[in-house]
Amino acid sequence: MTNETTTKPYILAADIGTTSTKTLVIDRAGRVVASHAIEYPLHTPRPEIAEQDPLEIYQAVVLGIQTAVRKAGISASEVLCVSFSSAMHSLIAVDKEGHPLTACITWADNRSSEQSARIKRELGGHEIYLRTGTPIHPMSPLTKLLWMKENDPATFEGAYKFLGIKEFVFARLFGRYVIDHSIASATGMFNLRHLTWDEGALALLGLPADKLPEPVPTTYKLQGLRAADAAEMGLETDTPFVVGASDGVLANLGAGAYEPGIYSVTIGTSGAVRGVVDRPITDPKGRLFCYALVEGFWVIGGAINNGGIMFRWVRDQLATLEAQEARSRGMDPYDYLTELAEKVPAGSEGLLFLPFLLGERAPYWNANARGVFFGLSMSHEKKHMIRSVLEGVIFRIHSVVQALEEVGGPTAEVRASGGFARSAFWRQMMADVLGTPVTVPESYESSGLGAAQLGLYAMGEIKDFSRVHEWVQTGSRHAVDPANHLVYKELAQIYMSVYEQLVGNFDAISAFQHKHASAR
């Protein structure tokens, strides 16, 4: 450790998300000294399109750093480094001067669903997944580039480079085209074992590797800001920028879930389960993703579509009167509905809900799956339906945890986050279904804290991530209720069996829906 760096007490973490860029100023004890978030819109002119303006996001990064530094009241010489976290899977075509030729096409954009299905079916998709760790899905830049080649060949051929949003920001600030191994590993075109662009994926696209940025470790540093940019952000021209990693893998680090058997579970609108392993592992059954964090740390996991949004559906469609009642009493409708659900025993007296209203990603990757109430009888009331929906969402998480355990080893503990974690009842249900204790970290800024830890590591200030535990305070802890766990174990079997027996019928009802929706 040099004297120069010890006099620099603050790390900046910039987290470029889909709805906002959040910049944190963090001291060496992990305290957030200041933060600033700048929101920007997601443009969805058609249902399959989800784009953003890359220049707007670039400006949010610069303004976010400037404002956070000003709010913290610190001087440029006190900043050790700026470290980055970013959403995955984005794609921007740029010209030789780095000007955008397209919008930033985000992970939520589904324009390439036909290409995705074709890669899976006819173009060796499973082998590409096994080498790259990114499930073949319209979210991935691989399928987006095939879409562009077939639908906008002039841009595909004419572009100088194809970048993600974080690479775009670095190109503007430093004139360098680099991509960290973590974001690269979520493009569907990066070979996990060789840490280079995958020849097979590029051959499928007919894309030369020099049209993509240069892959570098997540600890790679960029230096040499223009004087005007440095002054605008309140930094020195040689303040190091640590390229950082994806928000998903950094959230695990920032929640302290980076040891074997500690899985992180997030349920917001959608949901995800993630665990850390020491080498790249892909799933022979193709259910899970594998993304890089740093050398020797890889994050495997799966995302589900039908997370907290199922509870929103209940609030807005099924229990509208109850929600209204809650509002008239000045209560949050979610709290009121969970109180009703609590009146029903575990297992909802034999009512099961398969929450596939949005089709499903992991572990089934079945876009045609649909929702099912199973086991309804005259004795079931609205409160049973509410409870069974909450249980159904946790069963979804359970099926991803099971897939993860098959390839990554048994679960010892779950760190929970996202909107669902506001409910102690729902958190306890997770412990009881999974049969694993559930803890909730106090901070919601996991990705930013993870980026700051990575920054310290990249600067050589820490040798490993063990101090993350000092940074992450545990808010609450739920032990497993053994009686409830037994009930859920029994019900989980029926749940799986119902799903499996309905697969053919899901295809039929989804085809029926498409046909009759278009005829309307």
Residue nearer to ligand ADP on the CB measure, 108 or 233: 108
Pattern 394-433, binding to ligand ADP, x per CB under 6 A? Answer: ------------------------xxx-xx--x-------
Asked if 210 interacts with ligand ADP (CB under 6 A), we say no
Report 346-385 residues binding ligand ADP (CB under 6 A): none
User: Angle at Cα 34 formed by Cα 33 and Cα 40, nearest 5°?
Assistant: 150
Residue nearer to ligand ADP on the CB measure, 304 or 309: 309
Residue nearer to ligand ADP on the CB measure, 95 or 335: 335
Choosing from 27, 332, 405, 406, the residue that interacts with ligand ADP (CB under 6 A) is 332
Q: ω into residue 41 within 30 of 0, thus cis?
A: no
Q: Which stretch binds ligand ADP (CB under 6 A): 20-28, 134-142, 304-312, 512-520?
A: 304-312
Q: How far is the CB of 111 from ligand ADP (least distance, A)?
A: 22
Q: In angstroms, rounded to a whole number, what is the distance separating the alpha carbons of residues 436 and 458?
A: 34
**Dihedral sign (CA 372, 375, 379, 380):** negative
Asked if 268 interacts with ligand ADP (CB under 6 A), we say yes
Q: How far is the CB of 444 from ligand ADP (least distance, A)?
A: 9
Choosing from 85, 132, 338, 368, the residue that interacts with ligand ADP (CB under 6 A) is 338
By Cβ distance, which residue is nearest to ligand ADP? Answer: 419
Asked if 335 interacts with ligand ADP (CB under 6 A), we say yes
Asked if 488 interacts with ligand ADP (CB under 6 A), we say no
Q: How many residues bind ligand ADP (CB under 6 A)?
A: 16
Q: Which stretch binds ligand ADP (CB under 6 A): 179-187, 280-288, 306-314, 463-471?
A: 306-314
Looking from the CA of 158 toward its CB, the CA atoms found within 13 Å total 10
Q: How far is the CB of 267 from ligand ADP (least distance, A)?
A: 7
The residue assigned the tokens 């063990």 is 466
Q: Among residues 179, 181, 146, 394, which one has the least CA distance to residue 280?
A: 181
Q: Which stretch binds ligand ADP (CB under 6 A): 27-35, 159-167, 328-336, 352-360?
A: 328-336
Q: In angstroms, rounded to a whole number, what is the distance separating the alpha carbons of residues 520 and 518?
A: 5
Q: How far is the CB of 268 from ligand ADP (least distance, A)?
A: 3
Q: Give 507's contacts (C-beta < 8 A, 6+ positions apart).
A: 368
Asked if 312 interacts with ligand ADP (CB under 6 A), we say yes
Pattern 213-252, binding to ligand ADP, x per CB under 6 A? Answer: ----------------------------------------
Residue 239's Cβ-count burial label (10 Å; 0-12, 13-18, 19+) is: buried
Residue nearer to ligand ADP on the CB measure, 252 or 368: 252
Encoding tokens for residue 502? 């309905």
Q: In angstroms, rounded to a whole number, what is the distance separating the alpha carbons of residues 162 and 233?
A: 27
Q: How far is the CB of 271 from ligand ADP (least distance, A)?
A: 9
Residue nearer to ligand ADP on the CB measure, 311 or 465: 311
Residue nearer to ligand ADP on the CB measure, 236 or 247: 247
- DSSP-assigned letters across all residues of 96-123: TT--BSS-EE-TT--TTHHHHHHHHHHS
Q: In angstroms, rounded to a whole number, what is the distance separating the alpha carbons of residues 238 and 400?
A: 44
Q: Cβ distance 300 to 289 under 8 Å?
A: yes
- DSSP-assigned letters across all residues of 22-73: EEEEEETTS-EEEEEEEE---B-SSTT--EE-HHHHHHHHHHHHHHHHHHHT
Q: How far is the CB of 83 from ligand ADP (least distance, A)?
A: 22
φ, ψ dihedrals at 61, nearest 5°: -65, -50
Q: In angstroms, rounded to a whole number, what is the distance separating the alpha carbons of residues 41 and 310?
A: 24
Q: Cβ distance 291 to 253 under 8 Å?
A: no
Q: How far is the CB of 426 from ligand ADP (least distance, A)?
A: 6
Encoding tokens for residue 192? 């996990």
Residue nearer to ligand ADP on the CB measure, 305 or 423: 423
Residue nearer to ligand ADP on the CB measure, 269 or 510: 269
Q: How far is the CB of 392 from ligand ADP (least distance, A)?
A: 12
Return the beta strands (E) in 87-219 as ranges: 92-94, 104-105, 161-163, 178-180, 190-191, 196-197, 214-216
Q: In angstroms, rounded to a whole number, what is the distance separating the alpha carbons of residues 343 and 390?
A: 13
Residue nearer to ligand ADP on the CB measure, 42 or 407: 42
DSSP state of 350: G
Q: How far is the CB of 239 from ligand ADP (least distance, A)?
A: 31
Q: Which stretch binds ligand ADP (CB under 6 A): 42-50, 330-338, 349-357, 363-371?
A: 330-338
Choosing from 84, 197, 334, 465, the residue that interacts with ligand ADP (CB under 6 A) is 334
Q: Which stretch binds ligand ADP (CB under 6 A): 143-151, 165-173, 225-233, 307-315?
A: 307-315
Residues that bind ligand ADP (CB under 6 A): 268-269, 308-309, 311-312, 332, 334-335, 338, 418-420, 422-423, 426
